[in-house]
């Protein structure tokens, strides 16, 4: 890929990338608005504590499988940064981290499937 | 719509990994031949868009939250097979890094959101749009209807997958081992909230982005 092509691509989509940036900055609305309307999590995505609260017990298999992976930034939050303004900042940073990883992963995917081609 | 680890038993999540594997294979093969180097930034942009849009939780007052996926929109911009890849990448990153959706459930979540939502949404868009021009109102409306239908179908499948668990897996005491809600609860819960609230949000976002692109980058909207 020529440098000049790359430049024109970036400028072609510059506005759209700025749009993604603005959306990242606005992501805390995805926490704040549900808080205002007193809405909980998504249906069927409850943690084991909530399941226990809803059905009175934690199904055995569910409990076992739910522990198989511990995500570094669970729920787009950092430990101790899960409430109020800190949770909003953590959410924005999570958005940045997620977008960065997704972009790198997409380029890696493209590289792998296009390998051997010129 | 992100099924966590523990809600699906091994046969179900294994079966959905097996179901989505040929979809990924086909998508990778198709993308290999059709994706031009110049479109890679657009693919990355689409994965990024899908990731971010899913962070906007929308509340049902006093109830649950849900979110758009952007699946149909991405399919309209990149073609359905590239959309399968873009949304799948997003789901894998969400699972491993943010615990949003389970690791065992990646197959299921990709089947629902990266396959069914994408293919149904795009198919319905194509069907309604017919050969109407890129900048027409009909293109926008087709996209909105496709997006609504696609995400609602994805929600329906999620409800079915969750709802069959109590029938498939019971402990010695007769209690469910995995997701405890029967079909009669899980399917209506998923379908109604998407059909009434989140599907509309998905349709509106799709329409707004299409209207914007009709003016700024009409070449991005595929035939």
HEC string for B19-67 = HHHHHHHHHHHHHHHHCCHHHHHHHHHHHHHHHHHCCCCEECCCCCEEC
Rounded to whole angstroms, what are the CA distances from B86 to A33, B199, B203? 27, 20, 19
pLDDT digits (tens, 9 = 90+) for B158-212: 999 999 999 999 999 999 999 999 999 999 999 999 999 999 999 999 999 999 9
The structural architecture, per CATH, of the domain B10-220 is Orthogonal Bundle (1.10)
- Please give the structure tokens belonging to residue B35: 């994706």
What is the least distance, in Å, from the CA of B130 to any CA of chain A? 27
Q: Report the complex ipTM.
A: 0.93
CA-based nearest residue in chain B for residue A91: B55
Q: Angle at the Cα of B106 (from A16 to B82), degrees rounded to 5?
A: 40
For residue A59, the enclosing domain spans 42-68
List CB contacts of B189: < 8 A, sequence separation 6 or more. Answer: A43, A44, B159, B181
Q: How far apart are CA B32 and CA B49, in angstroms?
A: 22
Tell me, yes or no, whether A30 and A84 share the same domain. Answer: yes
- Closest partner CB to A102 (pick from B9, B51, B56): B51
Q: Are A39 and B65 in contact (CB under 8 A)?
A: yes
Tell me, yes or no, whether A57 and A108 share the same domain. Answer: no
Domain boundaries, chain B: 10-220
Tell me, yes or no, whether A33 and A46 share the same domain. Answer: no
pLDDT digits (tens, 9 = 90+) for B61-88: 889 999 999 999 999 999 999 999 999 9
Q: Are the Cβ atoms of B47 and A102 closer than 8 angstroms?
A: yes
Tell me, yes or no, whether A8 and A57 share the same domain. Answer: no
Q: Within its chain, how far is the Cα of B70 from the centroid?
A: 7
Q: Within its chain, how far is the Cα of A85 from the centroid?
A: 18
Tell me, yes or no, whether A32 and A84 share the same domain. Answer: yes
pLDDT per residue rounded down to tens, chain A (118 residues): 445 555 555 566 888 899 999 999 999 999 999 999 999 899 999 999 999 999 999 999 999 999 999 999 999 999 888 889 999 999 999 999 999 999 999 999 999 998 866 5
Q: Within its chain, how far is the Cα of B22 from the centroid?
A: 17
pTM of the shown model: 0.94
CA-based nearest residue in chain A for residue B172: A60
């Amino acid at each position: 890929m020529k440098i000049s092509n790359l430049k024109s691509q970036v400028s072609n989509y510059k506005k759209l990338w700025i749009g993604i940036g603005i959306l990242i900055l606005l992501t805390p609305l995805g926490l704040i608005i549900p808080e205002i309307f007193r809405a909980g999590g998504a249906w069927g995505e409850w943690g084991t504590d909530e399941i226990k609260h809803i059905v009175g017990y934690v199904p055995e298999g569910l409990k076992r499988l739910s522990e198989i992976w511990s995500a570094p930034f669970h729920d787009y939050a950092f430990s101790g940064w899960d409430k109020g303004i800190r949770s909003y900042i953590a959410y924005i940073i999570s958005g940045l981290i997620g977008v960065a990883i997704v972009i790198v992963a997409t380029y890696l995917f493209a590289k792998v499937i296009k390998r051997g081609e010129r | 719509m992100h099924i966590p680890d523990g809600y699906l038993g091994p046969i179900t999540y294994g079966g959905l990994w097996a179901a989505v594997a040929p979809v990924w294979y086909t998508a990778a093969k198709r993308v290999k031949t059709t994706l031009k180097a110049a479109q890679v930034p657009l693919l990355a942009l689409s994965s990024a868009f899908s990731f971010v849009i899913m962070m906007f939780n929308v509340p049902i007052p006093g109830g649950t939250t849900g979110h758009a996926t952007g699946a149909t929109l991405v399919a309209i911009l990149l073609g359905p097979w590239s959309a399968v890849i873009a949304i799948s990448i997003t789901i894998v990153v969400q699972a491993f890094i943010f615990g949003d959706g389970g690791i065992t459930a990646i197959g299921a979540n990709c089947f629902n959101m990266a396959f069914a939502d994408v293919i149904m949404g795009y198919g319905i868009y194509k069907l309604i749009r017919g050969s109407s021009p890129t900048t027409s109102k009909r293109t926008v409306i087709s996209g909105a209807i496709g997006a609504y239908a696609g995400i609602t179908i994805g929600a329906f499948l999620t409800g079915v997958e969750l709802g069959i668990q109590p029938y498939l897996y019971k402990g010695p005491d007769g209690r469910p081992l995995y997701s405890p809600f029967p079909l009669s609860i899980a399917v209506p819960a998923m379908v109604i909230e998407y059909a009434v609230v989140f599907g509309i949000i998905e349709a509106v976002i799709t329409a707004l982005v299409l209207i914007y692109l009709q003016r700024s980058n009409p070449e991005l909207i595929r035939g």
